[in-house]
Structure 1
């Protein structure tokens, strides 16, 4: 019974540790954007909630095995029901991880009794907490030191041999995301010269930036990040890792990916992440975190 109980403790600790790591990284990657600190903390709590649930149920299972067993079995059943109702198109591996794992842990707690309990508590709560602190140290420092001058107007950005004017907040800068590549490419054509409205006819003052132009314009600590584009490897290099800060980004918007004018193939185009990563995404993808910001050359009249 002791071995069975410890297998249950280790399995649930593994699950809680994974969600602790993933939740921390994602909370600061895409969740740390609400203008109010309280809302940002609530977002972080939401990302960390799976880890808290697993660790909390583990503590209950160690203290009251039958109660913990029932709760783990119910958790697996509830998740399975929600997946069926929502008709989620997720892989069978993920479905099994979300449903079978809690049920297996429930059975292990039902028949197992980990001893000594103090050590079981320490493992179930301590390891996920240490992972949370370790994975969260750098993101917390980064978001606390982000540069933001609050200027969401038209910006002239220079760096690494690239000088561009970036569109102000409005139809040429989709700070709330939700714009696919086709719409982004079409919208910039109708953007008026001041970047504040859309005309009835194509104006062709603005365009989408290339991958290289975004890479060369990214910043960290109010300084150019030293980004360069390697055309052979088709990968960027940076002197310092960029971050989501002014003048290119609004730290308090959900937008973290920018469409570029470069196409990967007929179905995909390249996006640049605020931290400098570059990925090919489906052109029809229009999530709240993906959008665009139009650019033009200084003093341009027609592209």
Structure 2
């Protein structure tokens, strides 16, 4: 009577292991999907905003995808160890991200759903890997029937093949789309003042210098290694408010601009009255202590109509409502409007979206968006303009 009992017991163990193995395999597929998303984001952003200056500027964009790839391989080999690591990393990132999200913008479902795959989902996947690995460890004698012949290798290693192959395929496709565009860029190296004849608008754009973001860093950013402005719209608009310069102003505190009450936020009137461009010298190379009233910030419409590619105007227009421009030819990050060697891929506009946000555009016209006026980083630059003589 003992043999049938042992057989039933073994069968129950096999079913339990198989169930957890299925759970583990599903978790592997989901983790590979997360890795692939990071690979796509990293490669696309590297070509979009990281392709400037030294080659080391590209590396940060490759870190998330590479880290998840290595983590995936670790989990496939040691599911329990990797599962616990995933729980710790996912839990830590979730706590960090949502603490920042709640403190700045509060909770919203759009942010929750967009970030869940790279935050809370990681914790759930980690739990699945730990449980699946524990089941396999408790019943190591239960084996999965294997195929013979040419499919044996694939059956044994399909998780590794999927974990490496799918992100690699995405990286190849993204590169195939973007590399030809980058290699075709035309750069004459001229960073002087440029007369740009656009689509129904003609303006002179400021040369490299304070009117084009060069050297305009706050005191706390003196060691910030970026060849562009790191100024917020707020700081640009309040430049001429005493004391003249970049920094704290009476009634305003540097970058501070309360998005919930609009306290400390500059306005479009401030941009016209005390904006940095108003203090730019005639040659565009120096900032003066008194308003010169030669240069100003361009509007969204003027920037959109000035976008170009290979020296030819792209025929772009903006209807004032949508979040992108309509262009006959897709513009690119090229002179005379853009500096391919600068970190800036967006330019602030003179226009404000509302009391707490202002408009900016990107170099290919795909983004006519708004950001908090207090937002400033190396990817958001500006460039002053004046009327031609």
Q: Same fold (TM over 0.5)?
A: yes
Distance (Å, rounded) in 2 between the aligned partners of 1:265 and 1:243: 28
Pairwise CA RMSD of aligned residues? 2.6
Alignment of 1:102-121 (within 5 A): 102-112=122-132, 116-121=155-160
Alignment partner, residue 85 of structure 2: 71
Q: Is there any run of 5+ residues in structure 2 with no aligned partner, and where?
A: 1-19, 137-143, 145-154, 215-227, 237-270
**1:158–1:95 distance in 2 versus 1, CA, 3 Å:** closer
Check 1:128–1:182 CA distance in 2 against 1; reply closer, same or farther (3 A cut): same
| 8 Å Cα contact 1:62-1:117 kept in structure 2 | no
* C-alpha distance 182-100 of structure 1, shift in aligned 2 (>3 A): closer
**Does residue 1:286 correspond to 2:351, yes or no?**
no
Structure 1 2/290 Cα, relative in aligned 2: closer, same or farther at 3 Å?
A: same
Q: Distance in 2 between matches of 1:179 and 1:188?
A: 13
Q: TM-score if structure 2 supplies the norm length?
A: 0.68
| Alignment CA distance shift 1:270-1:154 (3 Å) | same
Q: Determine the C-alpha separation between the residues in 1 that align with 2:178 and 2:338.
A: 17
Greater RCO, CA 8 A, separation 6+: 1
1:210 matches 2:229: no
- What whole-Å deviation, never above 9, does each CA across 1:23-50 have from its counterpart, x for those lacking one? 11222222222x22x324xx2x322222
Q: How does 1:185-264 map to 2 (within 5 A)?
A: 185=271, 186-230=275-319, 236-264=325-353
1:28-80 CA deviation, whole Å, 9 max, x = no partner?
Answer: 222222x22x324xx2x322222222222222222333333343234335546
| Native 8 Å contact 1:178 1:288 kept in 2 | yes
CA distance in 1 between counterparts of 2:188 and 2:85 reads 49
- 2:322–2:368 Cα contact (<8 Å) kept: no
Which deviates more from structure 2 when the two are superposed, residues 254-263 or residues 223-232?
A: 223-232
How many residues were matched structurally?
A: 292
Output the CA distance in 2 between the equivalents of 1:214 and 1:260: 8
Query: After superposition, where does 1:51-62 map in structure 2 within 5 Å?
Result: 51-62=65-76
Q: Structure 1 residues 76 and 227 mapped into 2: Cα distance closer, same or farther (>3 Å)?
A: closer
For structure 1, the 5+ residue unaligned runs are none
- 1:23 equivalent in structure 2: 42
CA contact (8 A) 2:34 2:118 kept: no
Name which one, 1 or 2, has greater alpha-carbon Rg: 2
Cα distance change, pair 77–160 in 1 and its aligned pair in 2 (3 A): closer
SS in 1 for 2:175: helix
Residues 220-268 of structure 1, C-alpha deviation per residue, up to 9 Å, x if partnerless? 1232212123357685210111111111111111111112222222222
**Structure 2 residue aligned with 1:180:** 232
- Given that 1:12 and 1:55 are in contact with CA atoms closer than 8 Å, whether structure 2 keeps it comes out as no
4+ residue stretches of structure 1 with deviation over 4 A?
A: 94-99, 231-235
